[in-house]
Amino acid sequence: MNIIEGGIASPIGFEAAGVEAAVKYENRKDMAIIYSQKPCVVAGTFTSNVVKAAPVKWDMDLVENSPFVQAVIVNTGIANAGTGKEGMDYCIQTAEAASKVLNIPKNAVLVGSTGVIGAQLPMDKITAGIDKLAAAKAHSYESSTDASKAIMTTDTVNKQLAVTVDIAGTTVTIGAMSKGSGMIHPNMCTMLGYVTTDAVIGKDALTKIVKEDVIDTYNMISVDGDTSTNDTLLIMANGMAGNPEIKEGTPEFEAFKEAIHYVNETQAKRLAGDGEGATALVECHVLGAATKADARTLAKSVICSSLTKAAIYGHDANWGRILCALGYSGAKFDPEDMELYYEAAGQKMLIYKNGADAGYSEEEATKILSQKEVKIIADMHMGNEEARAWGCDLTYDYVKINADYRS
Amino acid sequence: MNIIEGGIASPIGFEAAGVEAAVKYENRKDMAIIYSQKPCVVAGTFTSNVVKAAPVKWDMDLVENSPFVQAVIVNTGIANAGTGKEGMDYCIQTAEAASKVLNIPKNAVLVGSTGVIGAQLPMDKITAGIDKLAAAKAHSYESSTDASKAIMTTDTVNKQLAVTVDIAGTTVTIGAMSKGSGMIHPNMCTMLGYVTTDAVIGKDALTKIVKEDVIDTYNMISVDGDTSTNDTLLIMANGMAGNPEIKEGTPEFEAFKEAIHYVNETQAKRLAGDGEGATALVECHVLGAATKADARTLAKSVICSSLTKAAIYGHDANWGRILCALGYSGAKFDPEDMELYYEAAGQKMLIYKNGADAGYSEEEATKILSQKEVKIIADMHMGNEEARAWGCDLTYDYVKINADYRS
């Protein structure tokens, strides 16, 4: 697998664009398109929230029932969630407008929205935006970048990625873009994540890869414990690389799956590290758990703990809060027989063992906790399973951003 | 039931004190005693955290196995959690020291600790503090107040209460003190809560009342989602009121239970409203739920949502976040057929119905959300069950307090 400079429009036959449509804010790119010159098979996972945004319902239907898809239209500013029948109509009108200008079937147009809940979409601006997107779309790094910037809300950096992987002698390309960065506690997948590939692969194989991979990638991050109404991860494959079809049970399937995993994990970690107000990416690596489920539960409990997150913001080696979060996770273990470590910038430090403080240097610990990427390692001594989860610190800026998000 | 000026030492035969022992900080009361002139039956509930502080283990054993109890010794500053065998020894030494000076059996002395996790107790200061407590203890409102102040950590106000209730012609008194205010997400009961009564009541009846009542009181509050290692609620009854014994299945049992419920709910709400950094008490009242369990789950999900809490701090009527929190709670409902209201200071406002905004005035909503006590009402249209949960807003000060709690 090779990492290349690129994004969502890097695979053969994919085009992208990001434009200013003034959906809610002026002077920023706020609509994006992903377009494939050929029809794509599609797989996706969506929020488990009972309250689903209109575009989530629309996309779920298409992923299930549409023979193929060929485009995604995304807007930011307004989430089109909590908008009732009117909102659903606007979502369908969005697909219709794109269908006309792109000359593809309506049910080949996926729709994504992110932003404030409860407001209705300004349809005149949306349709004008779609016309601009159709005119601007291109197969280039710049257009990938524009699209990845257009889907940002409170994100501070755009998040895109492209890799190539050799499939039986054919180079297959995978591109991706995602956005966070508040209401992030995915329980299927995150706010908005898109993956494109020119690989030849069937829908069943693609679906299997996505459903399995989100469990250890997007579903293992949390910014604030709030599972959004709009979580969507879509992967589109247009087959233009011309490789022999990737089938389950082959080395090619494993190689492709590994590449998708790299892309998803990288994007998920970027979302966590760019959580609202965050100054650090926090990874919790749980080792020696009795079961894989326990390992995931323990790791996620730590990165969700407000007190642990605030302590990391303060560069305070307050390991009691980590121990506490492991303790209330629901997984069983013996607090008298386990170890905790901090690790950052290549330095690893034992902080807790045998039920008590391991006698570390506070000064050294604070140095480790002042890094941009901090790892918490918990060795549970209960078995051989492990898991990683990612989050961020809890800062003044998180409160500031969210005390007045709508104004 | 009558509310009276009083606290933990109000019931007949109870004494209390709070003194400066410099366990961790100088110039503040940091040790408290509750003492009963006669032996008490005791009931209690404790943290469900796998990691239990030494005094929690000690108290759990006494509540289960000791024939009676007669005193509680509490210190703040150090939680005596994550302290291994050494910490357990210090806890036992605390009970022994109190046993000697009070001339009661060691296993009649309950112990409570709250503060930083991982540090060891300075036993010389603890034993000196116990001597001071034994000398100072008194049956008075002032001594109740001193004790309730001594158990505070980041609490901004002390929390005590006393009520009387008529039991078959005899006046029975109930006193209480509790402390919060971080690491508050009780899952059995909260950080530290003590209730005293002079009622004549058997251990089984007392246990039944406590175990049932915490479900809808202490277990329905959250400040930060972190279930502490030290959660303890103890209720001691010394029988000195001389009432006919309160037995299950009688009107007296119901009257006493109702009084205990009032005490527990009042104290729980005070903990929520005085959560770290809080500027408002937030109540979520869920109506029309399909089951009682659903009602509790929905109400608690809302008051635990970081985004909802931050919006209330910002006085922002961002109901989408409430809808979102209901949606990811795990309870089933139809978001197109339910209503949301805000209520405060006698004003109630419909904000969401039929799947969309109800067309309320943002200005009026902001006025409601600027009150010190804000109620969120969710009518689920799924059945007849209801529940209430209490929390607080998420503020800069929460982050400030917890980014550097230990220094």
For B240-259, what is each residue's pLDDT tens digit? 999 999 999 999 999 999 99
Between A122 and B270, the higher pLDDT residue: A122
pLDDT digits (tens, 9 = 90+) for B61-108: 999 999 999 999 999 999 998 899 999 999 999 999 999 999 999 999
Mean pLDDT over residues B137-146, rounded?
97
Beta carbons of B324 and A182 less than 8 Å apart: no
Residues of chain B contacting residue A326, judged by C-beta atoms under 8 Å apart: 50-51
pLDDT digits (tens, 9 = 90+) for B199-235: 999 999 999 998 888 888 888 777 777 777 777 888 9
Place of tokens 């277990």: B219
Search chain A and give the residue with CA nearest B328. A49
Domains (ranges, CATH) in chain B? 2-273 (3.60.70.12), 281-403 (3.10.20.340)
**What is the pLDDT at residue B361?**
93
Interface residue of A321, A322, A337, A407 to substitute, partner B, most B CBs within 10 Å: A321
**Looking at the partner chain, which of A314, A316, A356 has a beta carbon nearest the beta carbon of B82?**
A356
Mean pLDDT over residues B185-196, rounded?
66
Between A230 and A327, the higher pLDDT residue: A327
**Looking at the partner chain, which of B47, B187, B402 has a beta carbon nearest the beta carbon of A310?**
B402
Assess whether pLDDT exceeds 80 at residue B374: yes
Please indicate if any CB of chain B lies within 8 Å of the CB of A362. Answer: no
Longest alpha-carbon distance in chain B: 68
Assess whether pLDDT exceeds 50 at residue A378: yes
Residues of chain A contacting residue B297, judged by C-beta atoms under 8 Å apart: none
**What is the pLDDT at residue A107?**
97
Beta carbons of A333 and B50 less than 8 Å apart: yes
Interface residue of B307, B369, B400, B404 to substitute, partner A, most A CBs within 10 Å: B307
Rounded distance, CA B202 to CA A283, Å? 50
Residues of chain A contacting residue B118, judged by C-beta atoms under 8 Å apart: 319-320, 323, 352, 356-357
Band the pLDDT of A191: cuts 50, 70, 90: low
- How close is the nearest chain B Cα to the Cα of A8, in Å? 29
Assess whether pLDDT exceeds 50 at residue B188: no
- How close is the nearest chain A Cα to the Cα of B351, in Å? 10
**CA proximity to B21, closest of B125, B149, B143, B152:** B125
Assess whether pLDDT exceeds 80 at residue A229: no
Rounded distance, CA B215 to CA B218, Å? 7
Q: DSSP characters for A285-322?
A: EEEEESSHHHHHHHHHHHHH-HHHHHHHHTT---HHHH
Q: Which two tokens stand for residue B123?
A: 């036993």
Band the pLDDT of A190: cuts 50, 70, 90: very low
pLDDT digits (tens, 9 = 90+) for A261-284: 999 899 888 888 888 889 999 999
**What is the pLDDT at residue A88?**
97
For residue B239, the number of C-alpha atoms closer than 13 Å in the C-beta half-sphere is: 16
pLDDT digits (tens, 9 = 90+) for A39-95: 999 998 888 788 889 999 999 999 999 999 999 999 999 999 889 999 999 999 999
Rounded distance, CA B353 to CA B334, Å? 11
Beta carbons of A396 and B398 less than 8 Å apart: no
In chain B, residues 142-181 whose CB comes closer than 8 Å to chain A: none
Provide the Cα torsion B293, B295, B297, B302; round to 10°: -170
pTM of whole model > 0.90?
Answer: no
Assess whether pLDDT exceeds 50 at residue B367: yes
In chain B, residues 249-288 whose CB comes closer than 8 Å to chain A: none
Q: For B402, phi and psi rounded to 5 degrees?
A: -95, -15
